[in-house]
Amino acid sequence: MTQANTVLEDLRPRNELDSLIDPEAGKSFAAYEDFIEKYETIIQYQDLPAQFFVEDGLKATVVQTPLEMVLIQSGKFMMGSPKDELGRRDDEGSQHEVKIVAPFFMGKYPVTQAQWRGVADLPQIDQKLESAPAHFRGDNCPVEQVSWHDAVEFCARLQKHTGKPYRLPSEAEWEYACRAGTITPFHFGDSITTELANYRGTDWKIDKDTTYSGSYGDGPYGKFRQTTTDVGSFNIANAFGLCDMHGNVREWCLDHWHKTYNGAPTDGSAWITSGERGYRLLRGGSWHSNPTYCRSASRLNYTPSGRKYDFGFRVVCGSTKYA
């Protein structure tokens, strides 16, 4: 197993910084200093070691991203969001303590299209897999337009091929891994920018009465790329060493959907009993989502057969517990 430092570069919004110090734009150095003071307080930077292994059962060319699995140690965290968090929904409560009782490995990135093809070519377990389901194409872009059933089949094939216990993460494992010890809306801090993640950084007017904001809290507006991006392209990870936990693609979890956490397991296991309407869970938001829906606590439910051009997943390697 390898140890490496997580890459946490200074990635404040350069375009906005440039405009602040451009004499032709009429901006002053004082304005630049005000910008730095403001955004350094909402984006947190850390430099911590991460342990990982590379799955050698999936071959990758020199230009393809390998399947890197990062060690997530056991620990405790508060799952869900506090009642006063901006953008909070009722399904994020009640906030409760969860103890992750066993360490596990999680994919550093969402599963890529090259990785998907490698597994789709393996012998079928329960169902067929399309070799190229994604709407946005690129070997190192995350695979999307995959259902929960597709993701489970991927894990089953990879498990049989490698002999390692690959699976989808439980919802609790996903949020624990995303937060990486933080209690803020994002693992970056109290807000987020499109220089750090791929999401809709512009306002989205749904109808004459409803507009979803492209900014969050004191954070800035940004870009709307209208596509996925290569995994890890922002060169930034959380304190556990995971990338793209906010935005790019929504990520399937193992659990059934429940509209609140009342009665939820507190040991990190997947909650698969009494699932409402058989729906499943996705986490993390996507390139299509406004920042509110990319928060660490934000949840989405969908039918397990559903495929959308922002539905993807990442894998976990470790024993499974069910509640």
Q: Which two tokens stand for residue 98?
A: 């969860």
Report whether pLDDT(277) > 70. no
Q: In this predicted structure, what is the pLDDT of residue 22?
A: 36
Per-position DSSP letters for 235-255, written without gaps between them? -B--TTS----SSSSEEEEEE
Q: Are strands 104-107 and 210-212 parallel, antiparallel or unpaired?
A: unpaired
Q: What pLDDT is stored for residue 155 in this prediction?
A: 98
SS3 of 100, please?
Answer: strand
Q: Give yes or no for residue 32 having a pLDDT over 70.
A: no
Decide which of 16 and 216 is more confident: 216
CB 191 within 8 A of CB 296: no
* pLDDT at 28 exceeding the cut of 50: no
Whether the pLDDT of residue 12 is over 80: the answer is no
User: What CATH topology corresponds to 2-317?
Assistant: paralog of FGE (formylglycine-generating enzyme) (3.90.1580)
pLDDT of residue 1: 56
Residue 11 has pLDDT above 80, yes or no: no
Domain ranges across the chain: 2-317
Q: If DSSP codes are grouped into helix, strand and coil, which group holds residue 274?
A: coil
Q: What is the mean pLDDT of the chain?
A: 87
Predicted model pTM? 0.85
Instruction: Please tell me the least confidently modeled range out of 1-10, 105-114, 176-185, 203-212.
Output: 1-10
pLDDT score recorded for residue 51: 86
Rounded to an integer, the average pLDDT of 84-93 is 97
pLDDT(9) > 70: no
pLDDT the model gives residue 13:
35
